[in-house]
């Protein structure tokens, strides 16, 4: 349906043919994951095991990886390890990973829900302005889903802009302030929270598809 493709384009992982990507008032002249990260963007992939995590590495190593440059000492390049480890532990507690052995526990030994929390945590360490979440609750149990929802709501309350991509209509209605419907690369409908109605949203998508077929 193009949901994941859009997310990957916005984070500079895949090329696009036309348009522009802006964060606030700043249009990105270079669109790459590195440039997007410099402008305060973060991306949670739908494939946490294949793309989001190093399965043979520890919680601490996974969480620290995107932020290593921020902890490098300017003159020597050495990592300020003590400060980094303290911050990794803090963010791991914030997302409520079900262990305190952050330096020893391999992520492959965690449940799906806790693995997803590690992915979220590694981006929270960077304090993103914009967080793209692609199917953030796929493959995790109900309890872990609600914990992810809690984290997302906290981020929004703190002023983080969240692009929440999901194939579950009830999830979108429960989490979003605005739902955009897209078809063939175009926005075909915008629905504000006060007018959320699953039938109307689906109708917006179906009418565009039927018109294209006709």
Domain-wise residue ranges, the chain: 3-176, 177-214
CATH of the domain spanning 3-176, picked from 3.40.980.10, 2.40.50.180, 3.40.50.300, 3.30.565.10: 3.40.50.300
In angstroms, the CA 74 to CA 25 distance is 29
Question: Are 1 and 166 a contacting pair, CB within 8 Å?
Answer: no
The count of other CB atoms within 10 Å of the CB of residue 85 is 17
Beta 22-23 vs 26-27: how paired, if at all? antiparallel
Q: Looking at residue 76, what is its pLDDT?
A: 67
Which stretches of 95-197 are DSSP H helices? 112-124, 142-157, 169-175
CA 142 to centroid of chain Cα atoms: 19
28 burial via Cβ count (<10 Å: 0-12, 13-18, 19+): middle
For 185: left if phi > 0, alpha if psi spans -120 to 50, otherwise beta; the answer is left
**What pLDDT, on a 0 to 100 scale, did the predictor assign at position 88?**
94
Predicted pLDDT of residue 1? 56
Q: Which residues contact 202 (CB under 8 A, 6 or more apart)?
A: 169
Q: Would you write out the chain's pLDDT as a tens digit for each of its 214 residues?
A: 578 899 999 999 999 888 899 998 999 999 999 999 999 999 999 999 999 999 999 999 999 999 998 888 765 668 888 899 999 999 999 999 999 999 999 999 999 999 999 999 999 999 999 999 999 999 999 999 999 999 999 999 999 999 999 989 999 999 999 999 887 778 888 999 999 998 888 888 776 555 555 5
DSSP for 4-41 reads HHHHHHHTTSS--SS---EETTEEPSS-SHHHHHHTTE
d(CA 209, CA 186): 12
Task: Reduce the DSSP state of residue 138 to 3 states and report it.
Answer: coil
pLDDT score at 211: 56
Contact between residue 58 and residue 109 where contact means Cβ atoms under 8 Å apart: no
Catalogue the long-range contacts made by 15-21 (C-beta closer than 8 Å, 24 or more residues apart): none
- Rounded CA-CA distance 30/151 in Å is 30
The pLDDT of residue 204 is 80
């Amino acid at each position: 349906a193009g949901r994941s493709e859009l997310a990957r384009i916005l984070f500079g992982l895949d090329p696009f043919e036309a348009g522009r990507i802006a964060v606030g008032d700043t249009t990105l002249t270079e669109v790459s994951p590195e440039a997007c990260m410099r402008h305060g963007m973060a991306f949670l992939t739908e494939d946490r095991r294949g793309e989001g995590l190093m399965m043979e590495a520890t919680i601490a190593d996974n969480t620290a990886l995107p932020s290593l440059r921020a902890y490098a000492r300017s003159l020597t390049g050495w990592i300020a390890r003590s400060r980094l480890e303290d911050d990794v532990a803090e963010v791991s507690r914030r997302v409520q990973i079900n262990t305190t052995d952050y330096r020893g526990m391999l992520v492959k030994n965690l449940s799906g829900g806790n693995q997803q929390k590690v992915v979220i945590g590694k981006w929270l360490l960077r304090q993103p302005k914009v967080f793209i979440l692609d199917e953030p609750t796929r493959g995790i149990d109900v309890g872990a889903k609600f914990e992810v929802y809690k984290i997302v709501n906290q981020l929004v309350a703190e002023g983080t802009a969240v692009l929440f991509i999901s194939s579950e209509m009830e999830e979108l209605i429960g989490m979003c302030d605005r739902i955009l419907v897209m078809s063939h690369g175009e926005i075909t409908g915008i629905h504000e929270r006060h007018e959320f109605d699953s039938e109307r949203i689906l109708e917006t998508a179906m009418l565009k598809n039927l018109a294209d077929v006709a």
